[in-house]
Amino acid sequence: MSTPFTYNRLSKNDAACLLVDHQAGLISLVQDFSPGEFKNNVLALAASARYFKLPTILTTSFENGPNGPLVPEIKEMFPDAPYIARPGNINAWDNEEFVKAVEKTGRRQLIIAGVVTEVCVAFPALSAREAGYDVFVVTDASGTFNDVTRHAAWTRMATAGVQLMNWFGMACELHRDWRNDIEGLGALFSEYIPNYRNLITSYLAKK
Amino acid sequence: MSTPFTYNRLSKNDAACLLVDHQAGLISLVQDFSPGEFKNNVLALAASARYFKLPTILTTSFENGPNGPLVPEIKEMFPDAPYIARPGNINAWDNEEFVKAVEKTGRRQLIIAGVVTEVCVAFPALSAREAGYDVFVVTDASGTFNDVTRHAAWTRMATAGVQLMNWFGMACELHRDWRNDIEGLGALFSEYIPNYRNLITSYLAKK
Amino acid sequence: MSTPFTYNRLSKNDAACLLVDHQAGLISLVQDFSPGEFKNNVLALAASARYFKLPTILTTSFENGPNGPLVPEIKEMFPDAPYIARPGNINAWDNEEFVKAVEKTGRRQLIIAGVVTEVCVAFPALSAREAGYDVFVVTDASGTFNDVTRHAAWTRMATAGVQLMNWFGMACELHRDWRNDIEGLGALFSEYIPNYRNLITSYLAKK
Amino acid sequence: MSTPFTYNRLSKNDAACLLVDHQAGLISLVQDFSPGEFKNNVLALAASARYFKLPTILTTSFENGPNGPLVPEIKEMFPDAPYIARPGNINAWDNEEFVKAVEKTGRRQLIIAGVVTEVCVAFPALSAREAGYDVFVVTDASGTFNDVTRHAAWTRMATAGVQLMNWFGMACELHRDWRNDIEGLGALFSEYIPNYRNLITSYLAKK
Amino acid sequence: MSTPFTYNRLSKNDAACLLVDHQAGLISLVQDFSPGEFKNNVLALAASARYFKLPTILTTSFENGPNGPLVPEIKEMFPDAPYIARPGNINAWDNEEFVKAVEKTGRRQLIIAGVVTEVCVAFPALSAREAGYDVFVVTDASGTFNDVTRHAAWTRMATAGVQLMNWFGMACELHRDWRNDIEGLGALFSEYIPNYRNLITSYLAKK
Amino acid sequence: MSTPFTYNRLSKNDAACLLVDHQAGLISLVQDFSPGEFKNNVLALAASARYFKLPTILTTSFENGPNGPLVPEIKEMFPDAPYIARPGNINAWDNEEFVKAVEKTGRRQLIIAGVVTEVCVAFPALSAREAGYDVFVVTDASGTFNDVTRHAAWTRMATAGVQLMNWFGMACELHRDWRNDIEGLGALFSEYIPNYRNLITSYLAKK
Amino acid sequence: MSTPFTYNRLSKNDAACLLVDHQAGLISLVQDFSPGEFKNNVLALAASARYFKLPTILTTSFENGPNGPLVPEIKEMFPDAPYIARPGNINAWDNEEFVKAVEKTGRRQLIIAGVVTEVCVAFPALSAREAGYDVFVVTDASGTFNDVTRHAAWTRMATAGVQLMNWFGMACELHRDWRNDIEGLGALFSEYIPNYRNLITSYLAKK
Amino acid sequence: MSTPFTYNRLSKNDAACLLVDHQAGLISLVQDFSPGEFKNNVLALAASARYFKLPTILTTSFENGPNGPLVPEIKEMFPDAPYIARPGNINAWDNEEFVKAVEKTGRRQLIIAGVVTEVCVAFPALSAREAGYDVFVVTDASGTFNDVTRHAAWTRMATAGVQLMNWFGMACELHRDWRNDIEGLGALFSEYIPNYRNLITSYLAKK
């Protein structure tokens, strides 16, 4: 028989969301997703975090330099979230203020996404794992230079016990049951999954 | 020396835009673009047509059947446009009402996009060429089953003298000079080209 | 203004269908389509030819040797079609019996598909063009060793005035108007386009 | 020397098959397989489950909404199978009726496939692993939005001890020895593997 | 026999080079080449133009805005070249100063490259063709959003009689004979073709 | 510090080679390598096994049926090798004669390749692991239907402790030191790695 | 009706074969084919030329420098062919000795292949077209740096009236009828098309 | 909760860099990166090693034979580094001099890159792991024949506890904090990441 396994499952009461370095300059380096897909995925993750009322922490690296400012859509979606503009730490987890903000959420499940995957995502993901957190990386809201780099970064993180998700899987795992709010989840999917919206459009047309 | 050539160039005073069968059901058949990219391209084309005040004609095929209704975003963007729900003609140009609507625009340059490329786009494109129109197909706002099919359809159309464009090239050719309206064109690009928005974000942050 | 163009359009009253060398052995050489897709496309083309009652001609090359017999599904779909088992001509058009069968149809539009694209399809396509026929190659029911070879063969044929189609475009161009037979065409598409069947399934469920 | 390993091998006496959410609407979201390949794989899995007389359980999510009904072919292949139309649970394993149906089979090996991979397949697969079952996911009968998402979902499941199979490997592992039924297995492969059918066609022609 | 053909061949005495909008911001939009390849190709083209002493014209669009400045390497390679910072014309050929600079070269063969392909390259290429020039587009030093857009732009240009080259083909066609300068051409290739440098390294090691 | 690790390294004194079902019919099913590459890889593996004098075992499945005979090149390379034509066992390890042949070699390292990867390779590989052998699968001499299937099969095998190699890595690991036989290894690489032969050709030309 | 067309068809009595710069160093630059495929294609073309007894001309560029010597297999296959080691002309057609050798064949159909496609193939192909020859480029025995470069080179050549072939299509067009020599052509295909050999192997096994 | 994990993090005080067999001949075998990208990655790794003053060891295999000499750029960057020209050992770790050079650095973290990945990189990486070192392979500065081979090699190394990095991730992990040297790191990235340089260019233009 198979070895024992515990399903470490996302819970909206125990998860926090960390959005790392989704800055205008850095995003222009991303080439493992088309720009349109990547923007959609990042906003879908952000909208999901807001929908599930997850404590969310924003952080940037050198936002007054070439890396550029945080993309304004994210800033606007989380006006009251802790916002740590790191003065120099490449790994957000090396920044005390950031770690304190994480600890203050009281959550043990950390959902992380950012740019670029092998640095801004992988470094705090590995640090958080070392600190005992359950870590879930949203792969499709994290971008980097090319597929080779992404694949290597994923392997490093998965080996460390990080769970690799996409934003849709994350949202579904957090929601658990459509009956908790059919309209809300439907609206979220309709906004960020064009073909799901098409299904709804066709469905409503027939009623 | 090379053979003589006349640059048949889009003009906002002589172009009309035909959006053919962007219906919720049919779009779900499209696999030569990711759904997110395709949605973005179609809306960008529609927004460009509106921005340049091009006479625009909407048409659908069997919208009460499995093909589904026109996607609502397009409907909303052109509340006053001629809207021809074809009762059965597969080639929109076989529909008299459609051709009359085209003729009524008085335009000789037809910008066409639709779903699926080799049928809903190629058929009226070839018919319009036969009728003496200059035809410009917006390739990235036209989708189909796969790359092989797209390639074959492009070859058929290009051989017929159809000019293959993307929405961005179309918008640039119509605009001619940034000084005609810097803010307007910038807003259009910012909305539909994520990395162009990033350039603007970084630029404004530094001023 | 653009150069004059005549839309040379498929007509069910003027088209014949030539299925060339879809033999069990030769099909195993095809690598530019997945085997599942290719089988589906070939059967869809055959079913379309039957649906539109196109005169259809079957031919094979060396069917008692390694090339293997015609795939049985095709044979069964056209029990009464002329069937020319060529004793050696690589180009079917070099076979008198084949050309006579074509002439006997009285049709001037030839729809051709076969295996492999650059030989069994391209050779008779070019010969038929020379003989003054309008030629339409069904690209997705014609297979070959790889994409490079396909691309070169397409270029050679397109330069010769061959029109490149896919089976779906061919069927739509032949049908012209859904009202000619909604159920029949719907059944054809439902059988060979899985996502179209899904649209119908969802549509009927909601009625 | 290598670490000890136990080959946890599928047995037709200990396996059950769970088909999760192969619904007409949801399938139209699948883009990591061509629609033709995916349909073929799903039907091949279903036919294999029936051939090996595996207890099979069908389940759907919100089948009266946009997700659409179970595709009719599957329904017809298992007229007597437990059919759980879940009223809202995203993870089928959260549905008591579903788990009871699984337990009632008395089987400890669960073969799972469904749409979409990272949710409808991965969630019950992880839950089943936690419940002590041996889990085998049929990767090519499970579809999702794109390759990135599939890769992440596979990594999550493999880490949890899920065994990743394709339908062909599953059928071969269940059958063990051709001599158990040469004709039956040959017919199954002939129906769903076009090039295998071609081998048989050529073989029979030569006898 | 084939139709007559005149080989319109690049000559270093009749060619000029137009580098259009290789600006820091615009280049970050390019996704149809990896950034490393694209940079290498652009610099190789520039170095070739300098090596063959081709009259070269630089132009930019809105270089004080988000499009960003011309990349400094190019500026430095052509300190004395005409430099037209266009105040608003999207098509460089709409700018009188630019056209005058072209005319002043007295050359009839125009080598064009730029960002993005379907606009900054295609528009002046088509205009120059209309003005009677022989036009050669260096495809691998011209970038755009994706492969689909590139393919469409190439088709439009090729139809207009534009010759599609890569920088290496251009350099070889201009040089004609190695004996004109073995060391110089060897150094050029060694700098921009890593595997050619490797051949030289291995070759020299053995002497 | 990292966890302890033992490098389980191929040794020509402890390795045997198992070539499973490289039959003419089955190979025609392979689509995850081009036929030319696959043939080259399989012959390279066979030539390496012979070069290193590894005990080699050949086996086939149903070679008188559609699966076809072992490809003749392999048969000729190992005229004296044990040859087990399995009457029905899909997993070669289920065949007593095969296992006895393996045991008789006295080797504990098994190099396995075959067609198709997820069945003819994976099944005996997992069985051999269970029996305590060190297992090395030569991935590029093992073929299957497509990349998805290959990826799943690799994951299943790697999880079981199988080491994934290519034929070149295998040969290098067995050889250890060029000085053991420079000419022999050079000849092997020259025969099966075209660009290595090119290096040698250029090298010798310069001496 | 379609425009008139003359099928300019390869004839073994009117074709000559020009193999340009298949040198050990230059071939190592080829990246648009895998090395194994490319070697196979080049040798297949050479073997075909020999089989059809086509006058064949070999030429190299700077074979004593980094470009390296002609690959020995080709040299050995044509011991008596004219062999022009060009001292510096990049375009072989600029070399008088080469053109004289071509003229001396008395053939009007030139089959050309070489490395790299856009230079060593395209330049003499365009020159030969200008000189009134019918030109057939064997695309799969001609290699270059990447797909983008190949695509551009093909477009340039096709526009000039060059016919794009693969070696298999060329051989079939030259042979015309299997009955001219079944065994000979079968042996040629068996040697260079692995899956064709598999068909033959299976076929013979059954007799 | 998740299992405990220790983040084994690169430190510039504990890391050494091993560059294995980046020789002119061997690099010409690499086909899993474009030559331009690969050259850039290797030089970026070397420049990073120098920037962080990591003890660096160079080694080559048979550099007087077809493998060719170490590429001169690397040699020049590390004039004083230990340089071990191995007389025959394929695995550098089998060479005593090499291992002694490693031990002499006193470092426990070994960063390894080389050509080809599955041999020159994987063999010493596995040996070093066995010897108790922490091993980090720089995947994008290590090249091989194709993606399949790379994927298999990565799996073998990751299973052995090797951490897979890219050069950019390595540099960021070593640097830890931009404030340690903003200009230096910026210059490094500007040199080897074209789009990062573009960001800087645009940024500086605005100041």
pLDDT in tens, B156-198: 999 999 999 999 999 999 999 999 999 999 999 999 999 999 9
Interface residue G33 vs chain C (CB under 8 A): yes
Comma-separated ranges of CATH 3.40.50.850 domains in chain E: 15-176
Residue listed under structure tokens 């329904």: D75
Q: Is the pLDDT of residue C150 over 80?
A: yes
Q: Which residues, including other chains, have CB under 8 Å from residue E170's CB and lie 6 or more apart?
A: E10, E45, E48, E111, E136, E138
Determine the residue among C23, C26, C28, C39 to mutate to test chain F binding: the one whose Cβ has the most chain F Cβ atoms within 10 Å: C28
d(CA H183, CA H17): 23
- Inform me whether the pLDDT recorded for A1 exceeds 90: no
Q: Touching E: which chains, 3+ CB pairs < 8 A?
A: A, B, F, G, H
Judged by a CB distance cut-off of 8 A, whether residue C152 touches chain B is no
Buried b (16+ CB within 10 A) or exposed e, D31-50: bbbbbbbbbbbbbbbbbbbe
Does CATH number 3.40.50.850 belong to domain D15-176?
yes
Coil vs helix vs strand at G41? helix
Which among C40, C84, C3 is positioned nearest to C190, based on CA atoms? C40
pLDDT digits (tens, 9 = 90+) for D36-52: 999 999 999 999 999 99
Instruction: With a cut of 90, say whether residue F101 has pLDDT above it.
Output: yes
From A188, A52, A23, select the one nearest A114 (Cα to Cα). A23
Per-chain mean pLDDT for chain F:
96
| Amino acid A3: pLDDT | 86
pLDDT tens per residue, range H152-188? 999 999 999 999 999 999 999 999 999 999 999 999 9
Most D CBs within 10 A among C115, C193, C202, C204, hence the mutation to make, goes to C202
DSSP H or E segment with residue A57? strand A56-61
Neighbours of chain A (3+ CB pairs under 8 A): B, C, D, E, H
Prediction ipTM score: 0.96
All partners of chain C with 3 or more CB pairs under 8 angstroms? A, B, D, F, G
> What digits encode the pLDDT tens for the residues A59-118?
999 999 999 999 999 999 999 999 999 999 999 999 999 999 999 999 999 999 999 999
Contact H202 E25 (CB under 8 A): yes
In terms of phi and psi (left: phi > 0; alpha: psi -120 to 50; beta: otherwise), the region of C135 is: beta
CA distance B96 to chain C (A): 13
Residues on chain F touching G28 (C-beta within 8 angstroms): 195, 198-199
With an 8 Å Cβ cutoff, is H108 touching chain F?
yes
- What pLDDT does residue C1 have? 55
The Cα H89–Cα H55 span in angstroms is 22
Residue B24 and residue A193: Cβ atoms within 8 Å?
no
SS3 call for C18: strand
Are chains F and D touching, using the cut-off of 8 Å on CB pairs and a minimum of 3 such pairs? Answer: yes
Contact F202 G37 (CB under 8 A): no
**How far is Cα G29 from Cα E113, in angstroms, rounded to an integer?**
24
Does residue G204 sit at the D interface (CB-CB below 8 Å)? no
Residue of D141, D145, D137 whose CA lies nearest to A140: D145
Q: Is the pLDDT of residue D146 over 60?
A: yes
Q: Which residue of E has its CA nearest to A32?
A: E31
Interface membership of E202 toward F (CB under 8 Å)? yes
CB contact, 8 Å: G193 with chain C?
A: yes
Determine, for residues H172 and A28 on separate chains, whether the beta-carbon distance falls below 8 Å. no
Bridge-based pairing of strands A109-114 and B109-114 is: unpaired
Res F1 pLDDT > 60: no
Q: Which phi and psi (to 5°) does residue H17 adopt?
A: -120, 125
Q: Which of E30, B24, A171, H66 is nearest to F206 (CA)?
A: H66
Rounded to whole angstroms, the Cα distance separating E85 from E98 reads: 9
The answer to whether residues B88 and C172 touch, using CB atoms and an 8 Å cutoff, is no
Residues of chain G scoring pLDDT < 50: none
pTM reported for the whole predicted model? 0.97
**Mean pLDDT computed over H140-145:** 98
E199 close to H28: Cβ distance less than 8 angstroms: yes
What are the strands, taking DSSP E only, across B21-156?
Answer: 56-61, 83-86, 109-114, 134-138
Element at A151 (helix H, strand E): helix A147-159
CB of G140 within 8 Å of any CB in chain C?
A: yes
Q: How far is D106 from chain C (nearest CA, A)?
A: 34
> How many B/H residue pairs have CB atoms within 8 Å?
10
B111: three-class secondary structure by DSSP? strand
- Give yes or no for a contact between B39 and A36, defined as CB atoms under 8 angstroms apart: no
Cα separation, C138 vs C169, whole angstroms: 9
- Nearest-Cα residue of chain C relative to residue D34: C37
Name the β-bridge partners of B161. none
Closest partner residue to H7 (CB to CB) among A25, A126, A152 is A126
Interval H61-106: pLDDT, tens: 999 999 999 999 999 999 999 999 999 999 999 999 999 999 999 9
Token pair in block for residue B176: 């001619």
* Rounded CA separation B61/B90 (Å): 7
3-state class (DSSP) for residue B83:
strand
Chain-centroid distance of CA A151 in Å reads 18
What is the C-alpha R_g of chain E?
17
Q: pLDDT tens for residues F134-149?
A: 999 999 999 999 999 9
Q: Choose from F178, F185, F204 for mutation: most chain H CBs within 10 A.
A: F178
Cα separations in angstroms, E2 against C121, G117, G135: 22, 22, 9
| E189 vs E175: CA distance, rounded Å | 12
The answer, for C146 touching chain F at a CB cutoff of 8 Å, is: yes
Tell me the Ramachandran region of residue C161: left when phi exceeds 0, alpha when psi lies from -120 to 50, beta otherwise.
left
> What average pLDDT does chain C have?
96
- The H-assigned helical ranges of D52-165 are 72-77, 96-105, 122-130, 147-159
- Measured in whole angstroms, the distance separating CA G160 from the mean position of its chain's CA atoms is 18
Q: Is E115 left (phi over 0), alpha (psi -120 to 50) or beta?
A: beta
**What is the token pair recorded at G125?**
């192909």
Nearest CA in chain F to G192: F36
Nearest by Cα to D95 from D85, D81, D105, D104: D85
D164: left (phi over 0), alpha (psi -120 to 50) or beta: beta
String of b and e for B47-82 (b: at least 16 CB within 10 Å)? bbbebbebbbbbbbbbbebbbbbbbeebeebbeebb
Q: Is F57 exposed, middle or buried (0-12, 13-18, 19+ CB in 10 A)?
A: buried
Alpha carbon of D197: minimum distance to chain G alpha carbons (Å): 14
β-pair partners for G165: G138
Q: Give chain B's end-to-end CA distance (angstroms, integer).
A: 49
Instruction: Note the residue count of chain G.
Output: 207
Average pLDDT on A21-35 reads 97
Task: Please indicate whether, in this complex, the C-beta atoms of B168 and E130 are within 8 angstroms of each other.
Answer: no
pLDDT for position C110: 98
- Tokens representing G9? 């068809």
Q: Which position among F120, F121, F125, F171 bears the catalytic label?
A: F120
Interatomic CA distance for residues B98 and F150, integer angstroms = 51
Tokens of F36: 């030319």
CB burial of residue A79 (10 Å; 0-12, 13-18, 19+): exposed
Looking at chain H, the number of H-run helices and the number of E-run strands are 9, 6
Q: What is the mean pLDDT of residues E194-200?
A: 96
* F13 contact C CB<8A: no
Does residue E1 surpass a pLDDT of 80? no
Q: Which ranges of B90-177 would DSSP assign to H, the alpha helix? A: 96-105, 122-130, 147-159, 167-175
Find the helix packing angle between B35-51 and A35-51, rounded to 10°: 100
∠ Cα H162 H164 H165 (to 5°): 135
Going by pLDDT thresholds of 50, 70 and 90, the confidence category of residue B3 is confident
**C164-175 mean pLDDT:** 98
B18 and B59 in contact (C-beta within 8 Å)?
Answer: yes
Q: Residues H156, H160, H161, CA angle at the centre, nearest 5°?
A: 125
Cβ within 8 Å of residue H31, ≥6 positions away: G31, G34, G35, H143, H144, H145, H146
| Residue for token pair 């047995």 | D11
Per-residue pLDDT of B73-128, as tens digits, reads 999 999 999 999 999 999 999 999 999 999 999 999 999 999 999 999 999 999 99
**Residue F104: how many CA atoms within 13 Å on its side-chain side?**
12
For residue B109, the SS3 value is strand
Query: Does residue E29 register a pLDDT over 70?
Result: yes
